Amino acid sequence: MPLLVKVRSFLRNILLARHVETDLDEELRSHLDMLTEENTRAGMPLQEARRAARLEVGSIDRLKEQVYEVQAGNWLHSIASDCRYGVRQLRKNPGFATVAILTLALGIGANTALFSVVNGVLLNPLPYPHAEELVSIAQKLPPFDQFAVSYPDFLDWTRMNHTFQALAAYRQNNFNLTGSGEAQRLKATQVSASFFPLLGVSPLIGRNFLPEEDRRGAAHVVMLSAALWKSKFSASPEILSKTLTLDGEGYIVIGVVPESFYFCCESTNFRLGDVYVPIGAWDVPWMQDRGAHPGIFAVGRLKVGTTLEQAHADTDQIAHNLAAAYPDSDKNVGIVLVPLKQAMVANSRPMLLLLLAAVGLVFLIACVNVANLLLARSTGRVQEFAVRTALGATRRRLVRQLLIESALLAAMGGSIGLVLAAWGTRAALAALPEALPRANEVRLDAHVLLFTLIVSATAALLFGLTPVLKVSADTIHKNLKERQRWASGSQHRIQRTFVVAEISLAVVLLSAAGLTIRSLANLWSVNPGFDPRNVLAFNVASPGSTAKEEPDEIRGYLNQLTDAIASIPGVTAAGRTAGALPMAGDNEVGFWIEGQVRPSTTSEMPNALNYFVGPGYLKAMGIRLLRGRFISEQDNIHSRFVAVIDDRFERQYFPNRNPLGEHIHLAGLDELFEIVGVVGHVNQNGLDENERSAAVQLYNSIDQIPDKFIAAMAKSACFVVRTEASDNGITSAIRQTVAKMNDQQVAYDFAWMEEIISGSLAARRFTMFLLGAFATLALLLATIGVYGVFSYVVGQRTQEIGIRMALGAERSNVVLMVLGEAGKIAMLGVGVGLLASLGFCRLIASMLFRVSSYDPITLVSVAIVLSAVALVACYVPARRASHVDPIRALRYE
């Protein structure tokens, strides 16, 4: 009941303010009249009676103020009036307001942009129902912590586990789509029937795969991605039960995967497909081979209430049982479980957190800058505050006024910052899209808005409190009496501290940016072991019928294709390749050297990266031949089996002896391979490959691939060609040549090796780009800050400088005096900053490449740059000081 009364009064005071005021006026007037009446009754003359009544009541306006102050909702009224006053104050000084608001907008905008990325990538749950139950599953195959899964093992896991609601396997593949307009190469993703139900994805139209379609020998069915359905089949629902020709075989369309479906996992090579087909129906020999790990990975959904530890115990037991049952393939092979979100984003976490820390420093600099501006401005407003105090404003009211003005600045800065963030995020992600997983989920949502609000409020408090320190009661009284002429020493101390803080924060950011830039430069100068300039990699999909031909016919066809490509004008060398390709695809094989004991199981054999290549590969890639010869045209299926090893292989397995003429065995093949040559090592895993952990490398002739594998390899062939120039004219020439040979044949997935390399640096470039942007911003803000403070300090010291000049100081003396002071402060800031960078840059040590986090070159250049910038920023005010006219300066005294 009393609450209701309060609410009513509150609403009345807010909504009917005018009415409340007239009511109060009338009440007070009638009170005054009654007092007068009382006095006349007591015998006073009317005039005197009125005067006495007025004396008793005092100032009507003040009385009204006192009543308003107790009224509910009064705070809202007075805050509104403070806001209006604040806006007026800011308008009176548009230069100050613009600089402050823009500074804040940049600081808050950069923070909001980065937070929206962190929020979308790291914080938000994955876009699936009960995403916390999802785990990514791989096999542990020493020395690899996460290796592809063998399909027979996967089927056993599904049968044997007690802790999963469901498991699903997936793998990438490619198909040739023919018979529906121009032949087209499609990205296919092979998935278990359980894959979409497990992720909670329902088809847009049609149905999901059935378990019986996910088996060898089942009728071919396919689901389309929404994008392909729209672009190729104009989103017609009639596509269901139609047949598509993929790699020459008919697939019945059973459903369309919705556009919203997203799954991405760099560590398990998952990519979104144009089409999806059941993985279990894939009829190739290695799907039944327990020792093969054909690029398959798995995802599972834990039973409700099951912890990851329980699942670990379960899968460890399963791995143990499988190792006992199939020692040759499964001994020492474990099962790795990683929460799906971690598997998707773990690689980006350190980079994003580093950037968040960096952008936090930019924010601090922005706040210090605005605090400085406010501090300088508050000195000019001392008189205003003194007058307001004299008129009855309490100290609390003045502090509130100052905080409200700060809040106004922060609110405007925050709003502009939000716009900048929305634009900046989109621009950054568009510039470097491949750098981040889940980039499509980055958006301004409620979390981001809340973050911006909190950041803006923090900013308002941080810089808003500085001038408040100045509004202490005693200085106000003192200042009313005499206008303050000389800035107090304490204020200069605060401002100097601010400048030192700004410079040191900028030093930290510039050092971090400098180290990343040097890392990237070091990476670019790494010799990858091959010459990536003008090297083009691409695939050619064969007509669907090729795979059904005799092995020798297939080999003949592929060599004919290679010759056709090699004779295209502009192509200087062409090599067919299969298996591993530097920085693009891995393929490993277990081996043992002839004359040594065969390890008892495949999993105990050492592994080598295995490249199956044609004779042109060496020249096309520009790999160095160190000894012996490379694969030649004579190394075909009917001749002696040969192998070429890299120098690391030689050092590790043939120390102190000549490998040429030695023989090695390869797991899964009966033939013995003679080593005929040694080539230089190639960086398989990117420019930043760790030299110690890099695998040894082994080349075999692509023409010596045994018959049993040839049909599967016939589907598509990968080529690398060296061209005379890296323009895209050559790609259309290749396309035409390939299509002219056979219209069912498609060349696709063209990629310049240099682009593959720069793509492998995408995450680093993203970090460098953003750190560089933040460091530039920091430098800019710090420069503005230093300039602002020194302009102000010089302005305050005009009289002093005038006196000095009147007493005979030269202009150059004055400039030197100001610059000397600035130099001292800059040195202090740089010193503190360098110490702080030593700490901060240790955090990024793991992201650096061949540069120490204490790199003297970087630190010294940063110190020089900042000192120079600080001195230049001070030179302008110093020069102005030296042009002070002593007479005029003293006249103001």
Partner 1 sequence: MSPEPTTLLQGTLDLLILKSLVAGEKHGLGISRRIEQITGGTFVVKPGSLFPALHRMEEEGWISAFWGDSENNRRAKYYRLTKAGQKQLEIEKKRWGRISWAIAQALEAS
Query: From its phi and psi, is residue 741 left (phi > 0), alpha (psi between -120 and 50) or beta?
Result: alpha
Between 20 and 97, CB nearer to partner 1: 20
Selected binder of partner 1 within 19, 22, 30, 237 (CB under 8 A): 30
Selected binder of partner 1 within 33, 550, 552, 633 (CB under 8 A): 33
Closest separation in Å from C-beta 1 to partner 1: 7
Contact 549, 557 (CB under 8 A): yes
- Per CB under 8 A, 31 contacts partner 1: yes
Closest separation in Å from C-beta 37 to partner 1: 6
- Please list, residue by residue across 190-209, b when 16 or more beta carbons sit within 10 angstroms of its beta carbon and e when fewer do: bbbbbbbbbbebebbbbebb
Judged by CB under 8 A, the chain residues 39 through 98 that form the site for partner 1 are: 56-58, 62-63, 66-67, 69-72
Between 30 and 527, CB nearer to partner 1: 30
CA distance 547 to 715: 6
CA distance 685 to 766: 19
Between 30 and 321, CB nearer to partner 1: 30
- Per CB under 8 A, 14 contacts partner 1: no
Between 67 and 827, CB nearer to partner 1: 67
Which string of x and - marks every residue 533-572 that binds partner 1 (by CB under 8 A)? ----------------------------------------
CA distance 770 to 424: 11
Pairing of strands 746-752, 696-701: unpaired
Give alpha helix (H) positions in 672-743.
707-714, 729-741
Judged by CB under 8 A, the chain residues 452 through 491 that form the site for partner 1 are: none
CA distance 827 to 846: 30
Query: From its phi and psi, is residue 527 left (phi > 0), alpha (psi between -120 and 50) or beta?
Result: beta
Between 1 and 430, CB nearer to partner 1: 1
Closest separation in Å from C-beta 62 to partner 1: 8
| Size of the residue set binding partner 1 (CB under 8 A) | 29
Between 10 and 875, CB nearer to partner 1: 10
Closest separation in Å from C-beta 363 to partner 1: 43
CA distance 208 to 189: 14
Distance set, CA 362 to CA 164, 432, 503, 774, 776 (Å): 46, 22, 11, 7, 10
The SS3 of residue 427 is helix
CA distance 437 to 456: 29
Could you tell me which residues are beta bridge partners of residue 621? none
Between 57 and 155, CB nearer to partner 1: 57
Between 53 and 169, CB nearer to partner 1: 53
**Applying CB under 8 A, which part among 18-26, 456-464, 706-714, 820-828 lies near partner 1?**
18-26
Between 63 and 357, CB nearer to partner 1: 63
Closest separation in Å from C-beta 30 to partner 1: 5
Between 70 and 304, CB nearer to partner 1: 70
Q: What is the token pair recorded at 755?
A: 């682009």
Between 37 and 259, CB nearer to partner 1: 37
Between 37 and 743, CB nearer to partner 1: 37
Going by C-alpha positions, the residue among 376, 378, 369 that lies closest to residue 402 is: 378
Between 22 and 634, CB nearer to partner 1: 22
- Per CB under 8 A, 25 contacts partner 1: no
Judged by CB under 8 A, the chain residues 765 through 784 that form the site for partner 1 are: none
| Contacting residues for 393 by C-beta, under 8 A, at least 6 apart | none
Between 71 and 497, CB nearer to partner 1: 71
Between 59 and 202, CB nearer to partner 1: 59
Between 69 and 145, CB nearer to partner 1: 69
Selected binder of partner 1 within 16, 17, 26, 857 (CB under 8 A): 26
The SS3 of residue 357 is helix
Pairing of strands 184-191, 275-278: parallel
Selected binder of partner 1 within 28, 79, 584, 828 (CB under 8 A): 28
Closest separation in Å from C-beta 470 to partner 1: 32
Could you tell me which residues are beta bridge partners of residue 696? 608
**Applying CB under 8 A, which part among 3-11, 491-499, 600-608, 750-758 lies near partner 1?**
3-11
Residue keyed to tokens 């230089």: 680
Phi, psi of 300 (to 5 degrees): -135, 155
Judged by CB under 8 A, the chain residues 268 through 297 that form the site for partner 1 are: none
Contact 74, 96 (CB under 8 A): no
- DSSP track, 457-486: HHHHHHHHHHHHHH--HHHHHHHHHS---S
Selected binder of partner 1 within 11, 15, 17, 34 (CB under 8 A): 34
Closest separation in Å from C-beta 477 to partner 1: 25
Closest separation in Å from C-beta 388 to partner 1: 21
Residue keyed to tokens 């017609």: 236
CA distance 849 to 864: 24
Going by C-alpha positions, the residue among 571, 706, 110 that lies closest to residue 361 is: 110
Closest separation in Å from C-beta 5 to partner 1: 4
Closest separation in Å from C-beta 52 to partner 1: 13
CB atoms within 10 A of CB 638: 9
Between 33 and 885, CB nearer to partner 1: 33
**Applying CB under 8 A, which part among 24-32, 452-460, 546-554, 838-846 lies near partner 1?**
24-32
* Radius of gyration of the chain, Cα coordinates, nearest whole angstrom: 38
Closest separation in Å from C-beta 44 to partner 1: 16
Angle ∠(530,533,534) on CA atoms, nearest 5: 120
- Per CB under 8 A, 264 contacts partner 1: no
Closest separation in Å from C-beta 56 to partner 1: 7
Phi, psi of 404 (to 5 degrees): -65, -40
Number of H helices, E strands in the chain: 29, 22
Between 74 and 475, CB nearer to partner 1: 74
| Contacting residues for 570 by C-beta, under 8 A, at least 6 apart | 723, 724, 725, 729, 730, 733
One-letter amino acid at 690 equals: N
Closest separation in Å from C-beta 77 to partner 1: 14
- Per CB under 8 A, 1 contacts partner 1: yes
- Per CB under 8 A, 38 contacts partner 1: yes
Going by C-alpha positions, the residue among 749, 761, 627 that lies closest to residue 683 is: 761
CA distance 86 to 72: 23
Contact 584, 756 (CB under 8 A): yes
- Per CB under 8 A, 304 contacts partner 1: no
CA distance 73 to 79: 10
Closest separation in Å from C-beta 22 to partner 1: 12
Phi, psi of 373 (to 5 degrees): -60, -45
CB atoms within 10 A of CB 464: 24
**Applying CB under 8 A, which part among 22-30, 43-51, 356-364, 621-629 lies near partner 1?**
22-30
**Applying CB under 8 A, which part among 5-13, 149-157, 236-244, 271-279 lies near partner 1?**
5-13
Closest separation in Å from C-beta 16 to partner 1: 14
**Applying CB under 8 A, which part among 29-37, 717-725, 863-871, 882-890 lies near partner 1?**
29-37
Binding site for partner 1 (CB under 8 A): 1-2, 4-6, 9, 23-24, 26-28, 30-31, 33-35, 37-38, 56-58, 62-63, 66-67, 69-72
